[in-house]
Amino acid sequence: MDRKCATRLLTTLLLVISAWWSVTAQELALPSAPNSVKFAVIGDAGTGDSPQYDVANQMARFHAKFPFDRVIMLGDNIYGGQGQLDLIRKFSQPYKALLDRGVKFYASLGNHDDPANRRYPLWNMGGELYYSYATKNIRFFALDSNQVDRKELTWLENGLKSSQEEWKICYFHHPLYSDGGTHGSSVDVRVLFEPLFVTYGVNVVFAGHDHIYERLTPQKGIHYFVEGASGQLRKGDTRRSAMTAKAFDQDMSFILVEIDGNQLSFQVVSRTGTTVDSGTIQRQVRSAR
């Protein structure tokens, strides 16, 4: 075999390997059980720029394989102008394919959102800055981390205390733990929320604000995710520490989540469709008071 022929063979082989990797990387890494609860997570998305549309298109592509029925939004859902045209350009247009298929969005608000948009019907907030809803064995708590008053804390405590569901999932904008270099952990919010989360057995927490994806090692028994890169990105902004389980800050991303019984499976997909993180979390039965 001459040298030219060997080069061709090697090139072909490399192309086949990369094509295979690209196809398998776009594959679903979740069980997609028929009766499981399936949802997606996006944060800091609403720029109205083409990367947001790319992420939204990728979500629609995965929806065909993994029919999630809801998307939770971690705040900064609309950047800049907050009028009706902005809501179209930065929300209903990019996610049109999902909205058309009946996927419901449940928003929490970030510091860039207009509080008046809690009344936007497609965000299902019921006009409230914090609210709760349940499906099967899961109760979601969408919280307001921008301004935390005693009323919200009392409401949260009562809600967590009375919740009968096996899974308690909280989501809001400012991360209690984050290795994002720009913002990092919001300690002032952590000292308010965390004691309640620990006392009443919250399992998983999602937050945004830092424009990266990060999964943290469990903190006081709670699994924390940061997803603030569904429309914004701060490349290379992660300052890895002992609490970093996995981080991705090279492209935008969203999270797919499936809960079946006591198991939560997650898959993090980049703007190009590559799986950048995946895994399972077993529900720890903790003594919720």
Partner 1 sequence: MSRHDPAVLSRRRRIALRVSGFVLDYLIALPVGCATAMLWANTLPDSYFRFAHATTFLVNDIGIVFFFALITKEVAEATLPGGALHSWRRAALPVAAAIGGVVVSIACYLAFVQYVGEHMLKAGWVAACAIDIPGCYIIARLIFGRHPAVPFLLLLSISADAIGLACVAVVHPVGDAHPAIGLGLMAVAVGAAAALRHGGVKNFWLYLLGPGTLSWWALFLGGVHPALALVPIVPFFPHGLRDRGLLVEPAPQAHDTLTLFERWWRLPVEGVLLLFGLVNAGVPFHGLEEGTWAIPIAALGRPIGIVAAAGVAIAAGLHLPRRVGWRELVVVGCTASIGLVFALFFATAMMPLGPVLLEMKMGALLTIAGGGLAFAMARLLRVGRFAR
Look at the block and give the residue holding tokens 């609403």. 46
Rounded to whole angstroms, how far apart are CA atoms 33 and 30? Answer: 9
User: What is residue 142's three-state secondary structure?
Assistant: strand
For 287: left if phi > 0, alpha if psi spans -120 to 50, otherwise beta; the answer is beta
Strand order in the sheet with 263-270: 104-107, 70-73, 37-42, 253-260, 263-270, 275-282
CA atoms within a 13 Å half-sphere pointing along the CA-CB vector of 289: 8
| Nearest CB to partner 1, comparing residues 117 and 230 | 117
Q: Among residues 137 and 219, whose Cβ is nearest to partner 1?
A: 219
Each residue 144-183 as x (binds partner 1 by CB under 8 A) or -, in order, gives -xxxxx--x---------------------x-------xx
Reading the block at residue 194, the tokens are 């965390």
Q: With contacts defined by CB under 8 A, name the span among 11-19, 21-29, 77-85, 154-162 that binds partner 1.
A: 77-85
Site string for partner 1, 82-101 (x = CB under 8 A): x-------------------
Among 52, 186, 203, 267, binds partner 1 (CB under 8 A): 186
Interaction between residue 115 and partner 1 (CB under 8 A) = yes
Q: Pick out residues in 190-219 that bind partner 1 (CB under 8 A).
A: 190-192
User: Which one of residues 188, 236, 240, 280 is an interface residue with partner 1 (CB under 8 A)?
Assistant: 188
User: Measured from the CB of residue 149, what is the shortest distance to partner 1 in angstroms?
Assistant: 4
Nearer to partner 1, 126 or 195 (CB): 195
The torsion region of residue 183 among left (phi > 0), alpha (psi -120 to 50) and beta comes to alpha
Give the nearer residue to partner 1 in terms of CB position, either 81 or 127. Answer: 81
Q: What is the DSSP string of 6-64?
A: HHHHHHHHHHHHHHHHHHHHTS--S---TTSEEEEEE-S----SHHHHHHHHHHHHHHH
Query: How many chain residues touch partner 1 (CB under 8 A)?
Result: 28
**Residue 8 vs residues 2, 14, 215, 232: alpha-carbon distances, Å:** 10, 10, 41, 40
Contacting range for partner 1; rule: CB under 8 A; set: 19-27, 107-115, 198-206, 279-287: 107-115
* Residues making contact with partner 1 (CB under 8 A): 79-82, 109-115, 145-149, 152, 174, 182-184, 186-192
